[in-house]
Chain A
């Protein structure tokens, strides 16, 4: 299914201004698994008829992993270059597909002169549900399925967004279960703070394996994620436990797309 994904450059050439910019993020752009989520977010935007655009090749890393790893120079170089691009297109509102991009642009760009209204895609989905523009009809039924939601640190504790992603699951009529460690007590997947890009320090197990115990205990067959890094870590965890047949890890956007048959 080919869908319409305009870039800001194309829009600007036509003299048009989209309602919202979809900030895809590096994982969403390059990671094969995350690319599917990226396309699903576009499907949702197209389905509800929101005028949007992406930066395409003009997008660059927000600088988040550099900042968490202590490279403030690199972070601010990235941030200022991105702010120049965003401001040149007079961007006002941004939806991100990644909690790390979301946190960085929303909270750390204003101090460097970049002021935008920033939401995470789970918040967009919540808004669309609240407005009645998204339902859970016409697609795959999640009725009665045991689903648990894994809170990404930079969405949950980092920005106190706990309810929006759960809202997207509540309309499924599924059997929602919380893990022992959830919401503000949620356990990290192990990828944050630039851990995604290095081997873990010596320990007795990997953090995603520790998280798997919570998932297995919840008896969920679907683990809902809202972050591409969590997605990678959770899928590796499922693989590690040889539960690929029993447990699916799906992003909130993917679940929404499936439920609506988009």
Chain B
């Protein structure tokens, strides 16, 4: 009875805390500007099913794809087992599904155990890739102490959880064979039974281990749940809405700014009266709140895998720009803005901004807009959109473009070409005598 009450208290606290933190992230995301992504729900569901559920963009790197798939499937399917643990915890039952499911239960538990082994293997491989092989993709200026530790923590927690799960089953199985107490025969436990020789033979010792692992496993899962909002691992949840709200347009198409259209029309036709939509907005983005909610959702979705940065032509050739850093900076800044609101209220400004305090001009102007980062992201994050918005601010609000870019603007404006050639000479190419 005490165990049940304790369990319910822990569960309720975990769920409360998690909801509160998710609520904060949601609030932070909604600090972004509006963007309409409500069109074409059929295609959106399909995109989500393909990219988030089906992980089709992971395939480009086969080893990572297979290992990640193990952990992903393991995570989803072993959750069925967690459901049983929850029910047992609340009602004080033990393996409540084993009787009604019978032989199927045996099969399911066996399946979970095999998955647990696959998850363990994948986690070990991933730890090796990060800490022994030291894949280049996992390093970089933005991969400081915390992001590196975060990745390792996640893998270690998963290893601990799976180990606890298997040890729990092994002890349970051994108790079943001893016909001890309520430990009814529930199946063959194909993987965990191999651990039996390592466990004590006394029922008391086994029960201690079984209960210990049970509590460790479930409290571990609830603690992990509450770790998610602080971690790159939050992608396991946000990958779904993030792909649902994907940009469905071709990658080459950049948004046309409606606010500019009104002004340009008024310039070309003095009789045109642009629609006034409340207070005038800043052109482009200086800070995270000038970005759209989708940009901010993407920042929270990023799991820092570095596929974007590893294909970025600027980064490959040693420039400062790293698309992953763009996303991490955006996330860190919006988190900071959110924390400021919590601490000092809505109207507080800390005189900091995404541009300059986080992302430098040098990074901004190194982008070739080649879309390699967008193509590479397994969950359809678009760092290029943020770069473009920051450029728009630098150019249209501050007139702070590199001098040669300003020259180009001047040429386009005056000669209708980015170079200093006269518009009158534009058709000279057709002269036959200059043909080879």
Contact = CB atoms under 8 A, between A and B. Distances in A.
Chains A and B are bound partners: yes
Interface of A: 1-3, 5, 7, 24, 26, 28-30, 35-36, 38-39, 42, 54, 56-57, 59-61, 63, 65-74, 76-78, 80-81, 103, 107-108, 111-112, 153-154, 157-160, 184-188, 190-207, 209-210
Contacts of A81: 268
Contacts of B421: 29-30
Given A203-B317, A203-B319, A3 B401 contact: no
B316 interface: yes
Contacts of B369: 68, 153, 192-193
A197 B404 contact: yes
Contacts of A207: 313-314, 316-317, 368
Interface residues of B, number: 72
27 contacts: A5-B430, A26-B416, A29-B428, A57-B427, A59-B426, A66-B408, A66-B409, A69-B408, A72-B257, A72-B396, A76-B260, A77-B264, A80-B264, A107-B250, A108-B253, A112-B256, A159-B252, A185-B311, A185-B375, A188-B368, A192-B369, A192-B370, A197-B408, A198-B408, A203-B317, A206-B317, A210-B316
Contacts of A38: 429
B215 to A, nearest CB: 48
Nearest to A207: B313
B396 A73 contact: yes
Nearest to B397: A70
B284 A76 contact: no
A197 B407 contact: yes
Contacts of B284: 70
Interface string B362-395: 1001111111101100000000000010111111
B256 A61 contact: no
Contacts of A68: 254, 369, 388
Nearest to B364: A70
A196 B430 CA distance: 24
A70 B432 contact: no
A158 to B, nearest CB: 3
A54 B426 CA distance: 11
B136 interface: no
Contacts of A5: 430
Nearest to A195: B368
Contacts of B316: 187, 207, 210
Contacts of A194: 405, 408
Contact of B402 (A29, A30, A198): A198
Nearest to B433: A2
B265 interface: yes
Given A157-B370, A193-B369, A200-B319, A76 B429 contact: no
A198 B142 CA distance: 26
B78 to A, nearest CB: 34
B314 to A, nearest CB: 7
A198 B404 contact: yes
Interface of B: 60, 249-254, 256-257, 260-261, 263-265, 267-268, 283-284, 311, 313-314, 316-321, 362, 365-372, 374-375, 388, 390-396, 401-402, 404-405, 407-409, 412-413, 416-419, 421, 423-430, 432, 434-436
Contacts of B434: 35
Contact of B429 (A7, A35, A154): A35
B179 to A, nearest CB: 60
B417 to A, nearest CB: 4
A154 B366 CA distance: 17
Contacts of A2: 432
Contact of A112 (B261, B407, B417, B427): B261
A200 to B, nearest CB: 7
A78 B412 contact: yes
A76 B366 CA distance: 24
B418 A61 contact: yes
B256 A56 contact: no
B426 A57 contact: yes
A139 to B, nearest CB: 14
A80 B321 contact: no
Contact of B391 (A69, A154, A159, A187): A69
A71 B393 CA distance: 9
Given A111-B256, A153-B368, A192-B369, A201 B263 contact: no
A184 B374 CA distance: 11
Contacts of B393: 70
Contacts of A193: 367-370
A71 to B, nearest CB: 5
B388 A190 contact: no
B314 A160 contact: no
A204 B250 contact: no
Nearest to B365: A201
Contacts of B321: 201
